Amino acid sequence: EPEVTQTPSHQVTQMGQEVILRCVPISNHLYFYWYRQILGQKVEFLVSFYNNEISEKSEIFDDQFSVERPDGSNFTLKIRSTKLEDSAMYFCASSPPRSNQPQHFGDGTRLSIL
């Protein structure tokens, strides 16, 4: 069964450094998402992406964050200048074109900011 894959599984970065989290969505999906989960807290929506542009974003997704689909398979989340509070699990998800179809998630990248 096709799945969403994320790399790396764990990223350790110094505060202030840039980090790029990578995702390969399911191949025939057209909608892509990033969520994050701080340890012990709820899963939080960050951004959704469709047709090469952001379709929705949350208050968390400020100017430090950006997303890109650089080619036909990858979907990336960049954090320009990481802060301690960016430490979290970051989950990528994708969904098919029909709007009632479920989102499918990767296993996440654990981001640790030192």
Partner 1 sequence: DAKTTQPPSMDCAEGRAANLPCNHSTISGNEYVYWYRQIHSQGPQYIIHGLKNNETNEMASLIITEDRKSSTLILPHATLRDTAVYYCIVRGLNNAGNNRKLIWGLGTSLAVNP
**Chain residues that interact with partner 1, rule: CB under 8 A:** 4, 6, 31, 33, 35, 37, 39, 42-45, 48, 50-51, 55-56, 58, 89, 91, 93, 95, 99-100, 102-108, 110
Query: What is the torsional sign of CA 89, 36, 40, 99?
Result: negative
User: Nearer to partner 1 by C-beta: 31 or 79?
Assistant: 31
Residue by residue, what is the 3-state secondary structure of 32-76?
Answer: EEEEEECCCCCEEEEEEEECCEEEEECCCCCCCEEEECCCCCCEE
Q: Taking the complex as a whole, how short is the minimal distance between the CB of residue 72 and partner 1, in angstroms?
A: 19
User: Nearer to partner 1 by C-beta: 6 or 82?
Assistant: 6
Q: Taking the complex as a whole, how short is the minimal distance between the CB of residue 36 and partner 1, in angstroms?
A: 11
